[in-house]
Amino acid sequence: MGLSGDPIFLRPPDARALFLFAHGAGAGIRHPFMESLARKLADRSIATWRFEFPYMTVGRRLPDRPAVLVNAVRRAAMEAHDAAPELPFFAGGKSMGGRMTSTAAAESPLPGVRGFVFLGFPLHRPGSDSNARADHLEAVPLPMLFLQGTRDRLAEIDRIERVCEKLGPRAVLRQVQGADHGFTVLKRSGRSDDGVRRELAELTSQWIFERLTDVPLGG
């Protein structure tokens, strides 16, 4: 695997779980953020399955219609689960990829999925006062981890906090101090982008490992 349009399955020898890792709207599966985080998750015994949405595969800039994106998530989830059915299965992704993954799950369960990880859930457009993008999460009956930068202009912290409170014990919110929507940090913060990615990988792996004794509800 690895040609344009092909999924990338990164499985460490000691894999304890598999994460379906969808990309965001503006960058594909080989973006440095995706590659770096996948390697860091592998270092923590988490396998990843990265796949591209159709518009990215053919080189278009604008994302496909939601129905097309959702179908791509569902197809990728089936392929990933079939590739490693013995591994506990989790799903989500960066920004739009995470939102389309949960949208698919809200419509009907994804095979074998035990929970969802959102890396910068895109709650609203900059300047918008609507949280409607999160409405579908009420129909997702599985655990959800929200990893959100405190400088994310697409998810103001107080608003994502209210969303998670409404979802109750299903939702866990972890704030990444100083990070924006792309999880980059200002130089004056004293932090590095690589350090932020290590934090994301650690938070993700800890949360996943805590769920490994849960009964899978998604398949």
Q: What type of residue sits at position 94?
A: K
Burial class (CB in 10 A: 0-12, 13-18, 19+), 137: buried
End-to-end CA gap in the chain: 26
**Among 127, 115, 193, which Cα is nearest to 159's?**
127
Residue reference for tokens 């202009």: 153
pLDDT for the residue 126: 87
Instruction: Please state, in angstroms and as integers, the Cα–Cα distance from residue 160 to each residue in 124, 130, 148, 152, following that order.
Output: 10, 12, 8, 10
pTM: 0.93
Over the chain (219 residues), the average pLDDT of each successive run of 10 is: 72 98 95 97 98 95 96 97 97 98 97 97 92 97 97 96 97 97 93 96 98 58
Report the distance separating Cα 95 and Cα 22, nearest Å: 9
Burial 66-86 (b: 16+ CB within 10 A, else e): eeebbbbbbebbeebbeebee
